[in-house]
Structure 1
Amino acid sequence: MLSKEQDSIESYINSPEKLKKLYKRVLFVVSLSQIFGGAGLAAGITVGALLAQQMLGTDAYAGVPSALITIGSAGAALIVGRLSQRYGRRTGLSTGFIVGGLGSIGVVIAALMNNVILLFACLLIYGAGTATNLQARYAGTDLANKKQRATAISTTMVMTTFGAVAGPNLVEIMGEFALFIGVPALSGPFILSAAAFILAGLVLFIMLRPDPLEIAKRIAAYKQENAQANNSYSPNKTNNKRGLAVGATVMVLTQIVMIAIMTMTPVHMKHNGHGLAAIGIVIGFHIGSMYLPSLITGVLVDKVGRTAMSIASGITLLFAGLLAAFAPSDSMILLVIALSLLGLGWNFGLISGTAQIVDSTEPSTRAKTQGTLDVFIALAGASGGALSGVVVANTSFVTLSLGGGLLSLLLIPAVIWSRRGKVLTNSINQKSV
């Protein structure tokens, strides 16, 4: 006689309609958590450097918060991935968000005590929230079929936009609230982050039942047992490794190029006489282009294919680099277009690369692998940001933009190599049959 749990799993296997309803529910819950998670990102991006500058009384270490958040994010991506693999998405993601919220509370306490060491330690912990916000995009894909995965990824990314846009607009209000309760104004956005990250974690902990990754693992095991019983099970590990390599390459390269050019654009503009308002407009268009096209991008990746959209990412980033390099320094319109293309190219690359990663992993190892790869994405972003300053200091913004655009072209041979490998494998399989 089947146990209640086994009976529940079999009900999803035997009822595609029930599984479809669960998939939609999971996507709704993850999307809801992403709205809160996006709002939690605002503090680190907006005032982290300013808070360190105020507490230290110097500009020399203003870049340290960004580095610490990135390092914390990389470490957390690894841990959240492993927690998710062992205990399910619900446990891994809710833990990551809540830990990020506790880090935000620690930043507020550090500001109140004027303790720089505590500030830096808590910024590392705060990085767990940013890592988890990125990891959550995978949860919506666990129960999606291959033709739905990119759309699921893009849906969660669009939901992140709402929080990410709302967060910075609440900075001034949260600063006033911070002063009202007797803490430094610049710590106010971290109060918002604490509430947002903890709410995101609670939404997932309470509502993400049954766990989508656990269901996906058991459905995969059930299908494998049936296939083995019918002598039709033939795992193809070479294809998986190739797909992982290409998916990771696409995401890492797009992250390096995007972060490098984006980081130095405000510096380039300031040196050429643009004010903070103009810089804000350009970066605002850039961030909008990173997330808002996601719904369309997801449909294109599912319909047109991962390979085509990865190539489109490389070409779009190339045009962004060329335009940023050769646009007249006083042309706001061309800089807006260049940074918008940069965000769009990143969007194409992240969604197509993520879809390839999901395609290339089995549920039994999926979350662990995804967490490991997100470490490389975080470190790629940190490297792109750090190296961009060195390149511009020793050459120019033109050189950086051209170099980034040309680097993005490596995506094309990478995905063609993947495609050739798939064709070759299919040919061998057909001959063996």
Structure 2
Amino acid sequence: MTNYAIDDRLARRNSIILAGAQSFAGAMPTIVVAMGGLVGYFLLGADKSLATVPVSSYVFGTAAMIYPAAFLMKRLGRKLGFLIGAFGSSLAGLLSCFAILQGSFWLFCFGTFLSGAGQAFVAQYRFAAADTASEAFRPKAISWVMVGGILAGIIGPQTSILTKDLFEPVLFAGAFLGQAVLGLVGVLFLLFLQVPDQTKEIQQQGGRPLVEIVSQFRFIVAASCAAVTYALMSFVMTATPLAMIACNHSQEDATLAIQWHVLGMFGPSFFTGSLIQKFGKEKIVVLGLFMLAGCSTVALMGIEVANFWIALILLGVGWNFAFIGATTMLTDCYHPSERAKTQATNDFLVFGTVTIASFSSGGILNAFGWEKLNWVMFPPVVLCLLLLMLQAYKKRTAIV
């Protein structure tokens, strides 16, 4: 074991730097989510069923770039890959701004697709922190990075609110100019990152075949919980701004709902790692899944602003517990030489599922309404709980 894994000094330093980068580079998705559906609504004609396509394009961009980003960073290093991702997201913000000014819906969708591609690199921040951490510190390293999302939850929505009218009478274009600036600030943080290169021995080792790794039951459970958790979060979050507008709530209320949601996503990261150390990964994932079910329960109880806000806070906190727990579970499934392909496969499954959920969100909302959309949440949650119960049973029988 290397020295940096023993004393965790480098892991702590990198976690703090990545948390700072997460605060700004991670704030860009909140702009796309909060504004994307509304931009689509106003750019489209009579048929509003495609209004959430810009947000779905963003998610698809992330899924499409997961493997290229992982293997680019394996060749060029984490730091350079992260810098490329943050700078690329900044350019994507400029393109989205230009598309809105030109009134081009499909060019705007391409801009959000490129924003999503940049976020494929941001999705690897948590793994970069874990890579230099000891097994004991790993849950905290992941959580520390996610803490940066607290500032992201404030910076992103407030950037949207303050800049959306910058090019009045064309609405929302200024918010994506703000996205471009946030990407550049993220670049400044990443310049201070120190990620040791893998040893030549590790780089030359291929490890086990990917099929063998992903066929492990613990990988199936970890990846399933991560994918379902992220997909359900995106499914409800994507539809919420449009649902709130349809319920005669203001754009500011919808944007602030996303802000509270993002704070719920990342605020618990101050203590999620400690909870995982104390109670175990699986128990925290279970708690998160119950909170996701609680989100839909609250949403089904009414359509007041408070219902939307409380539901989205529960959605965010539930995502935090379940996703960080599932990510920590995943780190037990591979050896160092198998890291890149395993992490990439996991994130491809996660964001591929999220893409499907995001694309279907607008159509389900438009066709069946907010109530039916929330009922969709329960079966996947039950499925993940059953998988975790089966894993616990297999562990007990193996011990016996």
Q: Is the 8 A contact 1:96 1:129 kept in 2?
A: yes
1:44 is matched with which residue: 14, 32, 51?
32
Q: Does 1:405 align with 2:394?
A: no
Q: Which amino acid aligns with 2:235?
A: A
**Whole-angstrom CA distance in 2 between matches of 1:272 and 1:418:** 42
Q: CA shift at 1:135, angstroms?
A: 2.1
**Whole-angstrom CA distance in 2 between matches of 1:119 and 1:370:** 30
Q: Is the 8 A contact 1:251 1:377 kept in 2?
A: yes
Q: 3-state DSSP class of the match of 2:336?
A: coil
Q: 3-state DSSP class of the match of 1:359?
A: coil
Q: CA shift at 1:121, angstroms?
A: 3.0
Cα deviation 1:73-109 (Å, max 9, x = unaligned): 1112221111122332112222222222222233344
- Percent identity, aligned pairs only, is 26
> Partner of 2:182 in structure 1?
196
1:28 is matched with which residue: 16, 35, 45?
16
After superposing the two structures, state which structure 1 stretch, 103-112 or 284-293, moved more: 103-112
**Whole-angstrom CA distance in 2 between matches of 1:218 and 1:33:** 29
After superposing the two structures, state which structure 1 stretch, 71-80 or 382-391, moved more: 382-391
**Whole-angstrom CA distance in 2 between matches of 1:253 and 1:324:** 19
2:73 is matched with which residue: 84, 99, 104?
84
Q: Which amino acid aligns with 2:26?
A: G
Q: Does 1:377 align with 2:350?
A: yes
Q: 3-state DSSP class of the match of 2:334?
A: coil
**Whole-angstrom CA distance in 1 between matches of 2:350 and 2:30:** 20
**Whole-angstrom CA distance in 1 between matches of 2:28 and 2:164:** 15
2:228 is matched with which residue: 253, 267, 270?
253
> Partner of 2:192 in structure 1?
207
Q: Is the 8 A contact 1:174 1:189 kept in 2?
A: yes
Q: Which amino acid aligns with 1:191?
A: L
**Whole-angstrom CA distance in 1 between matches of 2:319 and 2:337:** 29
1:310 is matched with which residue: 262, 269, 285?
285
TM-score if structure 1 supplies the norm length? 0.78
Correspondences of 1:5-24 after superposition (within 5 Å): 13=2, 19-24=7-12
Correspondences of 1:178-327 after superposition (within 5 Å): 186-204=172-190, 206-209=191-194, 211-212=195-196, 214-215=197-198, 241-272=216-247, 274-276=249-251, 278-325=253-300, 327=301
Q: Unmatched 5+ residue regions in structure 2? A: 206-211
Q: Which amino acid aligns with 2:176?
A: F
Q: Which amino acid aligns with 2:16?
A: F
**Whole-angstrom CA distance in 2 between matches of 1:248 and 1:150:** 17
Q: Which amino acid aligns with 1:310?
A: V
Q: Is the 8 A contact 2:38 2:51 kept in 1?
A: yes
**Whole-angstrom CA distance in 2 between matches of 1:152 and 1:75:** 27
Change (3 A) 1:299 1:89: same
> Partner of 1:347 in structure 2?
320
> Partner of 1:430 in structure 2?
none
**Whole-angstrom CA distance in 1 between matches of 2:244 and 2:103:** 33
**Whole-angstrom CA distance in 2 between matches of 1:371 and 1:264:** 27
> Partner of 2:388 in structure 1?
415
Cα deviation 1:331-387 (Å, max 9, x = unaligned): x54554333222221111110011111221222221332223222222322322333
Q: Is the 8 A contact 1:174 1:185 kept in 2?
A: no
**Whole-angstrom CA distance in 2 between matches of 1:75 and 1:310:** 27
TM-score if structure 2 supplies the norm length? 0.84
> Partner of 1:95 in structure 2?
84
Q: Unmatched 5+ residue regions in structure 1? A: 1-11, 225-236, 428-433
Q: CA shift at 1:41, angstroms?
A: 2.7
Q: Does 1:122 align with 2:111?
A: yes
CA RMSD of aligned residues (A): 3.3
Q: CA shift at 1:241, angstroms?
A: 2.5
Q: 3-state DSSP class of the match of 1:364?
A: helix
**Whole-angstrom CA distance in 2 between matches of 1:65 and 1:33:** 24
Q: Does 1:338 align with 2:347?
A: no
Change (3 A) 1:144 1:67: same
2:122 is matched with which residue: 127, 130, 133?
133
Q: Is the 8 A contact 1:33 1:201 kept in 2?
A: yes
Q: Does 1:73 align with 2:59?
A: no
**Whole-angstrom CA distance in 2 between matches of 1:333 and 1:111:** 31
Q: CA shift at 1:139, angstroms?
A: 1.0
1:106 is matched with which residue: 95, 113, 135?
95
Q: Which amino acid aligns with 1:82?
A: F
**Whole-angstrom CA distance in 2 between matches of 1:189 and 1:280:** 12
Q: Is the 8 A contact 1:100 1:129 kept in 2?
A: yes
> Partner of 1:9 in structure 2?
none
**Whole-angstrom CA distance in 2 between matches of 1:56 and 1:396:** 20
Q: CA shift at 1:300, angstroms?
A: 0.8
